[in-house]
Amino acid sequence: MLRPLHHHTVPAFLDDLIPTQCSVGYWEVHNKVDEWQALPKKARKEILTQHWFPCVMGPGLKPYIVDHHHLGLALHHVGQKKVFLMVLSDWSHLDEVTFWRMMEFHQWVYPFNEKGRRVSVDKLPAHVSELRDDPYRSLAGLVRKAGGYAKDTTPYSEFLWAEHFRVHLPIPKKPHWPTLTQAGVALAVSAAAGYLPGWVGSSHHAG
């Protein structure tokens, strides 16, 4: 890969992208796959040019993506080969230790596994296909879509919501998502969730 210009979009192969988190919500991934398969080719091309993957260039000129992990796994499932990157920073000259220190400082890495436990950065997936399922991340996405809380710019904010639900709401092996979403919304609008980014409270919830 050529050394890209800072804050410019560059083409890349999906297989080269390296995640900065361990897990995603598979419900959301499968939903994106369904949406993609329903689109005509022209609309698919527009999505790829508009939804570029923000990334940081690490040691060895490796592109570490810091968002759109769900989209990345969905595109892997449908066989998409090429995507576009937006390079936020080029830290390819740094050693590994300094690189990860900077990634944590900028909140560009979320080193927690699908059970919410912290892991070392060498346990992060090497490819989007290795992203594991965290059902609580699926629940967090569903609750936000249902209006339980607002979208927030805080990095990895939906994982914070996922951890809140993990503590308070058991998810069975065969989840019934509508019922869980309803329970999740009730939890999200309660005062106990007031510390979380995007909290709206019961007085603002239309549902």
Domain boundary among 89, 113, 133: 133
Dump pLDDT digits (tens) for 2-50.
455 556 789 999 999 999 999 999 999 999 999 999 999 999 999 998 8
Domain CATH for 185 = 1.10.8.10
**205 Cβ neighbours under 8 A, 6+ residues apart:** 147, 148, 185, 189
Is the whole-model pTM more than 0.75? Answer: yes
Is residue 2 domain-resident?
Answer: no
Domain boundary among 115, 133, 151: 133
What's the CA dihedral at 167, 24, 38, 45 to 10 degrees?
140
Task: List 189's β-bridge partners, or say none.
Answer: none
Helix (H) or strand (E) holding 73: helix 69-77
Is residue 4 domain-resident?
Answer: no
Is residue 206 domain-resident?
Answer: no
Residue span of the structural domain in which 175 resides: 135-197
Question: What is the C-alpha separation between 19 and 156, in angstroms, rounded?
Answer: 13
Is residue 203 domain-resident?
Answer: no
| Number of domains observed in the structure of the chain | 2
Residues of the chain with pLDDT below 50 are 1-2, 206-207
Helix, strand, coil share of the chain (percent; to 5): 45, 15, 40
Co-location of 122 and 50 in the same domain: yes
Co-location of 19 and 68 in the same domain: yes
